Structure 1
Amino acid sequence: MGLILKIAWRNILRHKSKSLIIGAILFLGALIMTFGNGVVGGMDKGLQKNIVEGFTGDAILVANKQESDNVFMEFMGRSVEPILNYPTLDSILHTLPYVDRHMPVGKNALMHLSEESSNPGFSFVLGTDFERYTKVFPNCVKAVEGRLLNPGEKGILMTTSQREELYNWSNIWCVAVGETLDVSKLPEDIKKDSASLIIKDSLVFMGMNENNATYDVRLPIVGIIKYRALDKIFGHFPIMDIESYRTCMGYLSAEDKIEVTGERKALLEMEGDNLDALFGNSALMVANTAPVKGKAVAAKEPATVAPTQQDIDAGTYNMVLIFFKDDIQSDEGLRRLNEDLKTAEVRAISWKKAFGIIGSIAMLIKSALFVFVMFIFFVAIIIIVNTLSMAALERTNEIGMMRAVGARKGFISNMFFCETGLLSAVFGGLGIVCGTIAVHVVSALHFTSDNDMVQLFYGGDTFSPVLSSVDIVLAVFQLALVTLIAVVYPLRVARSITPLDAIARE
């Protein structure tokens, strides 16, 4: 084996130009694949961190009746099915050891109505108990105008993205309650039309629900907000207090919940015969009875019921956002969650499925990168095959003489394989090492951006490529695959050379 390596190394040095061409192709392909995997890995980790920790949680509970898994970005206008038994779910979730925390929300599409415009606007809306929402997703939103919702306050937090969408629909520009329009802060394309803007600090919202009646509700615009990261995506979701959301959608709210007294409950439970008796032919008037002697009984004031604390969780939601413990993998958590909630009329879906194409964007980009690098390697295979085949033919005398002195075909095959393997190991390995160094250097520089589209590419507001051991193994595997494929035909050419070919060339 040592003799074969010496001969292979000598042949590489003897044919430097061809070796450098092959090595450069292998180096470039390995470098692109390694660095690209780091970029996509960072994007995937960034998207998961910002989407999971800032918006969706690890898993989402939806009603069994919900057909589509794409509950956040469904653009076909279908409403998300309601969850009517959240108090039961809440009690179960608190007993599951692998669930860290959970947050119920409402989510559906609403219309924005205005007296000044005949063109309604449309947007998705999140209905939440905002006090609880900020505890589950701390610092996820910031107010750029106005303020955030106070505990129990009714109102809407309009996103900057939806404010611009509403302007495009109906020339309405939203401002927070108590604030005036600051023309200097308007986008450049809107400044030109600032004189014709319809300024509103409140909007009328109407639910869109094919299953029951909906209502219109006027709400003050408490604040204009931006999400901490990925605002281009999350900005489609203004935040509304949960009770106003339920009213818009025609859902049962905590305010609608009433206690049925014993007399009314008995009336509701009356049998059919008793109900018929209410409409019988018996006289409704009876003879006056003799007056009761004695002190008259004073009339009593109508009884009043002491107000009780509203139970917000008693109303309707559309989904429950679930966070798993740190040591629980998402797939394992989903499986266990669906097993434990089989009888609860809900099912759990992953955040990637819930976010549709956005949840799979990292995998799509990684697949595209894989195809691109494999195309580079395919071209490399063709060039390497041609270069090695030409090298084999040019060395016909050498190989023929080696065969003449007793070298077998296996020895020739091992020699050529070692030459290609050395080139692949040196140049391809160098490409992997340089790609790994580049990933760590770029990650240490902490490139940041406020641009929404760049944040989508970064997977957040900071560009942090990450290279896992799986990515390195994948790059090594591809490199080895290219080497094996590229050396097959040159080996056949070299093995076909005989001592007679060497004499014939002379």
Structure 2
Amino acid sequence: MILIRIALRNLRGHWVKGLIVGGLLFLGAALVVVGLSLLSTIDRSMAKSIVGSVSGNLQVYAKDAKDKLTLFAGMTDGTEIGHVEDFAKVRQTLEAVPGVKAVIPMGTDVAMVYGGNVLDVKLDQLRAAEKGKDKDKSKVVRAHVRKMVGLLAKDLDRMSDLRAVKNMSDETKQAIADVKQGGSDAFWASFDKDPFTALEFLENKVAPLGLNADMIWFRYIGTDLDRFASNFELFEVVDGTQVPKGQRGFLFNKLTYEETIKHRTARRFDKIRDRLAEGFTLKRDEDLQQWRKLNKDQMREITYQLDDRTEPMVRQFLQKHLDNSASAIEVLLAQFMDINDDNFGARYTAFYAGIAPHLMLYSVKIGDVMTMKGFTSAGYPTTVNVKVYGTFRFKSLDKSMMAGGMNLIDLMSYRDLYGFLTADRKEELAKLQAQSGVKPPSHDRAEADLFADADDEVEELPRAATVVAANEVGKTNSEWPAAVAAAPAVESGFDEFAKVDMKASAKKYGEDLFGRVYAQPDIDGGVVRNAAILLHNGIDERQAKLAVQKACNDHKLGLQVMDWREASGMIGQFLFVIYAVLAGSLFIIFFTAMVIINNSTVLATMERTREIGALRAIGAQRSYIRKMFFVEGLVLALLFGSLGSAFGGLVVAFFNAKGIAAFNDVFVFLFAGPRLYPTMSFTHVVVALVVVTVVTLFSTLYPAWLATRVTPLQAMQDAE
């Protein structure tokens, strides 16, 4: 108690130095509390985002993989991760590990979808009208198609003016000639004589050059969609429906759907709305001004889609909304697109009320069957047709492209697209072999034939086997039979497929594919690239990781295990970056505090030589003097450390009430939502006080040592 009273008296006597040192300790303690609170909250939020969306608690993939699995990699990063050959065995083994809730098959890749263009859509409508002999509809659509072909011809004329004809390839010259022919009066005058021949010409020669054609690249996950939806807690369907259990299908992420599939003008209107909501203004923000300019410059993206029926409706709407009697749709649209901070709200509402309903708002609509183009594991191009059932989102992550960039496809279609042999393909191969009488060579025989010398006798397979092998590469289930049917005729005069109706087989196969319901053994019984492991609540991830790895080793699954931080790549390591920044800041603060505490205490020791000498003269031991300095440091640390911790707690409470806004889509993902609400625990306060106390006591070691060297004789000499 006496030491504490002496410490308080000395602190009052040197209050200026005490405040300087205490201020640094105050700041350090506050920073520790706030920093640890933020870090722990971000860690929980990241776990919620990553574990609850795509990764699960753990990931397993091939032990001999060339690359490290990275779920949030770029388009081509981390692609050589090997394969999990027998997922059914993997699932059965790992779900038996205590604490494991579910094992979900996965495979991540990129694909391209050709979004088509308005001309494609209108030609389909025109063909349907001609087949149905709907003269009124045919007349309207025919006029629109002729208008679009005419606009395309004008665009190509401008291109040819900019580029010398002599520098054009023959293909380019022919394309220009085809478009001009499709827009000529003679072509349309003869349309009624043979409409389907004319349509075939337009579809094959003109439509591929049409405006508004989109090549859309996106990232997707092939998985068991039903089990994915039931086990990842952040998943929810937004538009449309979930893919029926056991069937093939595709789900767009809502953010991807809005950012890439939507009409460009509508997309820019949405971006302007969102940015204005963030507090930016059209008057000052360059991005907003650029989007406004693009909407004004690219009005043809709207007029190109309007036909003789819809254009008058849009014109009348704009005339009423703008109070302008102009008859030219271009003039009205130019005025409408001239937005500012005052009129944007009304224009945005008007766009979706009077213009958007007459546009092809999405190039791929829910319910459409789209053709996905990708590459097999061997690098061959391949395609697969898949039905779009709807859109989904991960709750609270609507604005984050980290989560919004992931779309979902069923596992069977994924295997087709990636080149894995599926049950469908095996079944179709077996049917073709049975119908044609062709038997595939054994593995050993095929290898011997492949590496045979020139003089060796090699058994030649029937021509059908060659056709099958050549056309199988890069073909999907639905394309494969048709590709065989389209193979060149055999010169020998023997046709192995003479009794096989390949076209009928291909058509029936394609129709049956979307309605087929796969049993769980069919879904599980195949190749996947990796698998997510979800744990029951309260299970320690480190212990579970060790248990899963042991199970993989014991059952010779050939798999390696990583936690969600490792699987998420740089995103998962972000927390360590924050730790490093916080540690660096604390090091600077506390190092400065140590230097100041050390210097001020040394000076105080020199000023207190008489006092220390007097204490030594009346019998105070060196250990007592040392304790006196340590108690002074301890009082200083506890006093200002407590005040700093309390202040840090108030800061955390303030941000917990208000939230910290995520300033870009990456932080939306890290915060598990648009705002972060940090929380503080008693542990954070204890850590802050311990750190401040240790730093302070360490800083007093040298001054305390100097004080113990003071003798009564030195005190009397100083007095003289």
Does residue 22 of the first structure (1) align with residue 18 of the second (2)? no
1:174 to 262, 266, 279: 262
CA contact (8 A) 1:93 1:99 kept: yes
Query: For the residues of structure 1 that align with 2:253 and 2:101, how far apart are their CA atoms?
Result: 30
Query: For the residues of structure 2 that align with 1:183 and 1:14, how far apart are their CA atoms?
Result: 67
Query: For the residues of structure 1 that align with 2:517 and 2:440, how far apart are their CA atoms?
Result: 26
Q: CA 1:381–1:159 in structure 2 vs 1: closer, same or farther (change >3 Å)?
A: same
Query: For the residues of structure 2 that align with 1:225 and 1:348, how far apart are their CA atoms?
Result: 28
How far residue 398 of structure 1 moved from its aligned partner, in angstroms, is: 1.8
| Structure 2 counterpart of 1:229 | 396
Query: For the residues of structure 2 that align with 1:324 and 1:419, how far apart are their CA atoms?
Result: 50
Q: How far does the alpha carbon of each residue in 1:23-50 deviate from its partner, in whole angstroms, 9 at most, with x for none?
A: 2211111111111100111000111122
Partner of 1:356: helix, strand, or coil? coil
Amino acid at match of 1:127: G
| Structure 2 counterpart of 1:201 | 363
Does residue 492 of the first structure (1) align with residue 492 of the second (2)? no
Query: For the residues of structure 2 that align with 1:376 and 1:46, how far apart are their CA atoms?
Result: 28
Query: For the residues of structure 2 that align with 1:391 and 1:452, how far apart are their CA atoms?
Result: 53
Query: For the residues of structure 2 that align with 1:140 and 1:254, how far apart are their CA atoms?
Result: 28
| Structure 1 counterpart of 2:240 | 147
| Bigger Cα displacement from structure 2, 487-496 vs 417-426 | 487-496
How far residue 220 of structure 1 moved from its aligned partner, in angstroms, is: 6.2
CA contact (8 A) 1:100 1:324 kept: yes
How far residue 469 of structure 1 moved from its aligned partner, in angstroms, is: 5.6
| Structure 2 counterpart of 1:299 | none
Does residue 418 of the first structure (1) align with residue 631 of the second (2)? yes
Higher helix share: 2
Q: How far does the alpha carbon of each residue in 1:408-430 deviate from its partner, in whole angstroms, 9 at most, with x for none?
A: 32222211111111111121133
How far residue 107 of structure 1 moved from its aligned partner, in angstroms, is: 0.7
Query: For the residues of structure 1 that align with 2:689 and 2:89, how far apart are their CA atoms?
Result: 51
Partner of 1:126: helix, strand, or coil? strand
Query: For the residues of structure 2 that align with 1:84 and 1:355, how far apart are their CA atoms?
Result: 23
CA contact (8 A) 1:156 1:219 kept: no
CA contact (8 A) 1:105 1:318 kept: yes
2:537 to 326, 341, 346: 326
Higher strand share: 1
2:564 to 343, 346, 351: 351
How far residue 4 of structure 1 moved from its aligned partner, in angstroms, is: 2.3
| Bigger Cα displacement from structure 2, 192-201 vs 430-439 | 192-201
Amino acid at match of 1:246: R
Q: CA 1:412–1:382 in structure 2 vs 1: closer, same or farther (change >3 Å)?
A: same
Query: For the residues of structure 2 that align with 1:373 and 1:354, how far apart are their CA atoms?
Result: 30
Q: CA 1:441–1:252 in structure 2 vs 1: closer, same or farther (change >3 Å)?
A: same
| Structure 2 counterpart of 1:185 | 270
| Structure 2 counterpart of 1:363 | 576
| Structure 2 counterpart of 1:106 | 107
Query: For the residues of structure 1 that align with 2:670 and 2:644, how far apart are their CA atoms?
Result: 24
How far residue 142 of structure 1 moved from its aligned partner, in angstroms, is: 5.2
| Structure 1 counterpart of 2:71 | 72
Q: How far does the alpha carbon of each residue in 1:439-482 deviate from its partner, in whole angstroms, 9 at most, with x for none?
A: 35543556676953542453544423244565444323322321
Query: For the residues of structure 2 that align with 1:15 and 1:258, how far apart are their CA atoms?
Result: 90
Q: CA 1:197–1:78 in structure 2 vs 1: closer, same or farther (change >3 Å)?
A: farther
| Bigger Cα displacement from structure 2, 365-374 vs 195-204 | 195-204
Partner of 1:100: helix, strand, or coil? strand
Query: For the residues of structure 2 that align with 1:258 and 1:153, how far apart are their CA atoms?
Result: 17
Query: For the residues of structure 1 that align with 2:538 and 2:268, how far apart are their CA atoms?
Result: 50
1:383 to 596, 601, 612: 596
CA contact (8 A) 2:53 2:235 kept: yes
Q: CA 1:162–1:36 in structure 2 vs 1: closer, same or farther (change >3 Å)?
A: farther
Query: For the residues of structure 2 that align with 1:378 and 1:501, how far apart are their CA atoms?
Result: 32
CA contact (8 A) 1:446 1:463 kept: yes
Amino acid at match of 1:90: R
- Coordinate RMSD, CA, aligned: 3.9
Query: For the residues of structure 1 that align with 2:623 and 2:98, how far apart are their CA atoms?
Result: 61
How far residue 21 of structure 1 moved from its aligned partner, in angstroms, is: 2.0
Count of aligned pairs? 469
Identity %: 24
Q: How far does the alpha carbon of each residue in 1:355-404 deviate from its partner, in whole angstroms, 9 at most, with x for none?
A: 01111211220232022112101111111112111211222222222233
Amino acid at match of 2:240: R
CA contact (8 A) 1:110 1:207 kept: yes
CA contact (8 A) 1:175 1:221 kept: no
CA contact (8 A) 2:645 2:688 kept: yes
Query: For the residues of structure 2 that align with 1:453 and 1:77, how far apart are their CA atoms?
Result: 19
Query: For the residues of structure 2 that align with 1:155 and 1:504, how far apart are their CA atoms?
Result: 92
| Bigger Cα displacement from structure 2, 247-256 vs 147-156 | 147-156
Query: For the residues of structure 1 that align with 2:606 and 2:636, how far apart are their CA atoms?
Result: 19
| Structure 2 counterpart of 1:211 | 378
Amino acid at match of 2:48: K
Amino acid at match of 1:234: A
How far residue 337 of structure 1 moved from its aligned partner, in angstroms, is: 0.8
How far residue 61 of structure 1 moved from its aligned partner, in angstroms, is: 1.7
Query: For the residues of structure 2 that align with 1:136 and 1:210, how far apart are their CA atoms?
Result: 28
CA contact (8 A) 2:249 2:388 kept: no
Structure 1 stretches lacking a partner, 5+ long: 167-172, 281-301
Does residue 340 of the first structure (1) align with residue 435 of the second (2)? no
| Structure 2 counterpart of 1:476 | 689
How far residue 84 of structure 1 moved from its aligned partner, in angstroms, is: 2.7
| Structure 2 counterpart of 1:36 | 35
Structure 2 stretches lacking a partner, 5+ long: 116-207, 273-287, 303-359, 365-369, 446-456, 462-500
Partner of 1:238: helix, strand, or coil? strand
CA contact (8 A) 1:201 1:220 kept: no
Partner of 1:341: helix, strand, or coil? helix
CA contact (8 A) 1:111 1:120 kept: yes
Q: CA 1:57–1:482 in structure 2 vs 1: closer, same or farther (change >3 Å)?
A: same
How far residue 120 of structure 1 moved from its aligned partner, in angstroms, is: 5.5
Query: For the residues of structure 1 that align with 2:267 and 2:588, how far apart are their CA atoms?
Result: 53
Query: For the residues of structure 1 that align with 2:701 and 2:388, how far apart are their CA atoms?
Result: 70
Query: For the residues of structure 1 that align with 2:460 and 2:267, how far apart are their CA atoms?
Result: 67
How do residues 274-313 of structure 1 correspond to structure 2 at under 5 angstroms? 309-310=517-518, 311-313=522-524
Q: CA 1:201–1:251 in structure 2 vs 1: closer, same or farther (change >3 Å)?
A: farther
Partner of 1:157: helix, strand, or coil? strand
Q: How far does the alpha carbon of each residue in 1:196-218 deviate from its partner, in whole angstroms, 9 at most, with x for none?
A: 65976236532244535330346
| Bigger Cα displacement from structure 2, 353-362 vs 131-140 | 131-140
| Structure 2 counterpart of 1:258 | 427
Query: For the residues of structure 2 that align with 1:31 and 1:364, how far apart are their CA atoms?
Result: 20
CA contact (8 A) 2:235 2:392 kept: no
CA contact (8 A) 2:377 2:419 kept: no
Query: For the residues of structure 1 that align with 2:292 and 2:679, how far apart are their CA atoms?
Result: 42
| Bigger Cα displacement from structure 2, 232-241 vs 483-492 | 232-241
How far residue 158 of structure 1 moved from its aligned partner, in angstroms, is: 4.6
